[in-house]
């Protein structure tokens, strides 16, 4: 039976990022994914400054390669559009950043880039078309049953990392609770469009709050080749309470919202609506224990207000790599401290984003917040703070 120290299940941004760090640490590992690459993954395709920071920590050369990739579009700001047409726009083009603080990239391109740049002769291997079909504890580790084109095989590992995305696989085999209850789940749909109008010349990420979608929001993110990622998302509890049909809401908004409808004139949908669920951060979900850790969407590393998940997912991989290194140094494989670390790291973000979700249930609250945040001194203070925070990252 083949043996490996660490088995990583899922080769999305979190899983592949962890593989990069384990290569740096010279830790024996195997990364598997049930798909072949390149492959699409439903997502908003927005990349935040924490993604750039993790790439730089892997290697400054990797960040340089990333920013020169043809399919990675630099974005220099973002804008929140209120129900009454209010605009809260932040532009960082002249803020002194060495690189744009945001990018957009189709997941088919981002995920393939991260896999393609893995070291070829390092401490790890990548097996595509390999699905985890069983997992059980045995001795001081696990026996994993893997399904491949040529047949099933068993693999012995000391540590298993769940990076399989929002649909539980490792969690199910380990008998863990996944917390897919509505209060810890967002639902969203994505549609790629061509020839969408109205984007800022700095390729800003655009968020729209429609009176019929509160407390959810609509997004339009520019991509290369004159394409855009468009979609909407809402907390599952609100969808159930309001009996919302997301596909119907999408059509209603692009036809009737006076600030969005003009952008879609002459635009062409290049795919059918694609839906997915986004498990959000909650300390109730146990993401680290004896012999295992969960990273990325598998660990619910999604911010509850905007649905941001790629950055926290890659950050969870970086932090998990440090605990894996320590575990092998001490020969102690309880990753409960990783669980505690992640929820200390994101404690304020969890508290604030759930507070925003709950506070923006009413449209008058949203309009009041937008009006207050648009007040020049407050907007300047917020922008200055973001610049200071961003500069620490990049």
Q: Tell me, what's the pLDDT at 356?
A: 65
Phi and psi at residue 209, in whole multiples of 5°?
-105, 115
Name the E strands within 119-184. Answer: 124-127, 131-138, 141-148, 151-162
Q: What is the mean pLDDT of the chain?
A: 92
What is the per-residue pLDDT across 18-59, written as a single tens digit (0 to 9) for each? 999 999 999 999 999 999 999 999 999 999 999 999 999 999
Within 13 Å, how many C-alpha atoms sit on residue 170's CB side?
31
Could you give the 3-state DSSP secondary structure of residue 134?
strand
pLDDT band at 223 (very low <50, low <70, confident <90, very high): very high
Task: Give the CATH architecture of domain 2-58+106-179+282-352.
Answer: 3-Layer(bba) Sandwich (3.50)
How distant, in Å, are the alpha carbons of 167, 288, 289, 332 from that of 337?
A: 24, 7, 8, 12
Q: How many CB atoms lie within 10 A of CB 275?
A: 13
Say if strands 2-9 and 29-32 run parallel, antiparallel, or are unpaired. Answer: parallel
Residues 6 or more apart whose CB falls under 8 angstroms from that of 252 comprise 212
Give the confidence band of 182 by pLDDT, cuts at 50, 70, 90: low
**Contact (CB, 8 A) for 314 and 50:** yes
Q: What number of CA atoms fall less than 13 Å from residue 194's CA on the CB side?
A: 6
Q: How many CA atoms lie within 13 A of 83 on its CB side?
A: 16
> What digits encode the pLDDT tens for the residues 193-209?
999 999 999 999 999 99
Of 391 and 109, which is predicted with more confidence? 109
Mean pLDDT, residues 8-21 taken together: 98
- pLDDT single digits (tens) 251-291: 999 999 999 999 999 999 999 999 998 988 888 889 999 99
Cα dist. 36→127, 267, 389 in Å? 9, 31, 37
**What pTM does this model have?**
0.95
Decide: 394 and 54 in contact? Cβ < 8 Å. no
Question: Pairing state of beta strands 274-279 and 217-222?
Answer: unpaired
In angstroms, rounded to a whole number, what is the distance separating the alpha carbons of residues 132 and 173? 10
Angle at 220 between CA 12 and CA 229, to 5 degrees: 40
What pLDDT, on the 0 to 100 scale, is given for residue 368? 79
**Residue 177's pLDDT is what?**
80
| pLDDT of 120 over the 80 cut | yes
The domains of the chain are located at 2-58+106-179+282-352
Nearest CA-CA partner of 235 in 251, 246, 248, 221 = 246
Euclidean distance between CA atoms 2 and 149, whole angstroms:
17
pLDDT, tens digit (0-9, with 9 covering 90-100), for 68-104: 999 999 999 999 999 988 999 999 999 999 999 999 9
53-66: average pLDDT: 97
Asked if pLDDT for residue 180 goes beyond 70, the answer is no
Residue 274: per-residue pLDDT: 96
CA–CA dist 261, 241 (Å, integer): 27
Helix 13-25 to helix 310-330 angle (10° resolution) is 30
């Amino acid at each position: 039976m083949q043996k490996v120290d660490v088995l990583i299940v899922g080769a999305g941004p979190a899983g592949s990022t962890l593989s990069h760090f384990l290569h740096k640490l010279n830790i024996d590992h195997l990364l598997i994914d049930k798909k072949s690459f390149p492959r699409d993954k439903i997502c908003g395709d927005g990349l935040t400054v924490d993604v750039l920071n993790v790439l730089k920590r892997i290697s400054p050369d990797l960040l340089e390669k990333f920013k020169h990739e043809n399919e990675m579009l630099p974005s220099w700001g973002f804008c929140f559009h209120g129900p009454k047409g209010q605009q809260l726009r932040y532009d960082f083009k002249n803020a002194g950043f060495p690189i744009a603080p945001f990018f957009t990239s189709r997941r088919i391109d981002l995920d393939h880039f991260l896999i393609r740049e893995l070291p070829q002769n390092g401490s790890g291997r990548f097996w595509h078309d390999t699905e985890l079909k069983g997992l059980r504890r045995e001795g001081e580790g696990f026996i994993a049953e893997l399904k491949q084109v040529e047949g099933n095989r068993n693999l012995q590992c000391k540590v298993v990392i769940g990076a399989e995305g929002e649909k539980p696989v490792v969690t199910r085999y380990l008998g863990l609770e996944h917390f897919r209850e509505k209060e810890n789940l967002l639902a969203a749909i994505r549609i790629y469009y061509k020839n969408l109008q109205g984007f800022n010349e700095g390729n800003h990420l655009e968020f729209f709050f429609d009176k019929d979608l509160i407390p959810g929001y609509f997004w339009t993110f520019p991509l290369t080749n004159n394409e855009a990622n468009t979609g909407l998302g809402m907390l599952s509890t609100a969808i159930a309470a309001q009996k919302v049909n997301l596909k119907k809401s999408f059509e209603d908004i692009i036809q009737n919202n006076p600030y969005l409808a003009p952008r879609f004139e002459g635009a062409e949908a290049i795919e059918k609506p694609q839906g997915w669920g986004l498990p959000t951060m909650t300390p109730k979900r146990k993401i680290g224990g004896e012999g295992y850790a969960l990273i990325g969407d598998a660990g619910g590393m999604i911010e509850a207000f905007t649905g941001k998940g790629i950055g926290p997912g890659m950050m969870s991989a970086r932090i998990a790599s440090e605990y894996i290194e320590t575990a092998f140094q001490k020969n102690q494989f309880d990753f409960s401290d990783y669980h505690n670390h992640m929820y200390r790291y994101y404690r304020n973000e969890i508290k604030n984003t759930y507070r925003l979700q709950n506070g923006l249930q009413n449209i008058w609250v949203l309009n009041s917040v937008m009006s207050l945040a648009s007040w020049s001194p407050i907007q300047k203070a917020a922008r200055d703070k973001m610049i200071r925070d961003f500069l620490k990252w990049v």
